[in-house]
Chains A and B, each alone.
Chain A
Amino acid sequence: GENVEQHPSTLSVQEGDSAVIKCTYSDSASNYFPWYKQELGKGPQLIIDIRSNVGEKKDQRIAVTLNKTAKHFSLHITETQPEDSAVYFCAASTSNNDMRFGAGTRLTVKP
């Protein structure tokens, strides 16, 4: 089955700096790559996703890049703010019932 690795496990940045989180996947058939943000005591919330027919997607301060050849994808957050502090999860999926999640990255944005 699919295996998703996520790095780093913790990331601390200064407010205004950029943050980058990277994930690798093993199954070349994976075609959907969402990123979720989980705040303390809450469920994961989708922040951005990308499909395998696209190399990059951007939504305001958030962008995701996908390299299918190398089987890795990354989340980029620019101009970080304290409210960006949370745990971020990547996932890779070949179908609705086969979504595999990374272990998460705890992002801390220091004011």
Chain B
Amino acid sequence: NAGVTQTPKFRILKIGQSMTLQCTQDMNHNYMYWYRQDPGMGLKLIYYSVGAGITDKGEVPNGYNVSRSTTEDFPLRLELAAPSQTSVYFCASSYSITTLATDTQYFGPGTRLTVL
């Protein structure tokens, strides 16, 4: 298994541009997540999905959108990039049989995004 893969690894955007960060997992996990990691800080949850067709906001969703059309893919969309969105973005996935559970999350390698 490749696990969780993310593309691109690096990207520089100009203010106001848009882009999609790709995330794919091949572990048949139902849960998928997007986090951002700012320097000297822990990861913060942007959006998550409990399964295909279902998404919900996390702690810091403003300026982002997601979709989950398949179990494997969970793209993150930035519509109007702002300097505050400069960060490292991590996608993660987990398998849970109940919404009450807390299960191990497996992370991708990250995308380093700079907005100038």
Which A positions have Cβ atoms within 8 angstroms of B? 1, 4, 6, 9, 31-32, 34, 36, 41-46, 49, 89, 91, 93-104
- B100 near A95: Cβ-Cβ < 8 Å: yes
| Chain B residues closer than 8 Å to A46, beta-carbon distance | 104-106
| Chain A residues closer than 8 Å to B103, beta-carbon distance | 32, 96
Residue of A1, A31, A42, A94 near B109 (CB, 8 A) is A42
Shortest CB-to-CB span from B53 to chain A, Å, is: 16
Considering only CB atoms, which chain A residue lies closest to B105 in the complex?
A99
Tell me the complex Cα distance, A97–B100, Å: 10
Contact with A along B21-57 (1 / 0, CB 8 A): 0000000000101000000111111001010000010
| Chain A residues closer than 8 Å to B44, beta-carbon distance | 101
* Interface residue B75 (Cβ < 8 Å from any Cβ of A): no
Q: List 29 A-B contacts (CB under 8 A).
A: A6-B42, A9-B40, A34-B105, A42-B109, A42-B110, A43-B4, A43-B90, A43-B107, A43-B109, A44-B43, A45-B107, A46-B104, A93-B102, A94-B102, A95-B101, A95-B102, A96-B48, A96-B96, A96-B99, A96-B101, A96-B102, A96-B103, A97-B56, A97-B58, A99-B105, A101-B44, A103-B40, A104-B41, A104-B42
- B102 near A4: Cβ-Cβ < 8 Å: no
Residue of B4, B42, B43, B48 near A97 (CB, 8 A) is B48
| Chain A residues closer than 8 Å to B56, beta-carbon distance | 97
| Chain A residues closer than 8 Å to B99, beta-carbon distance | 95-96
Shortest CB-to-CB span from A75 to chain B, Å, is: 15
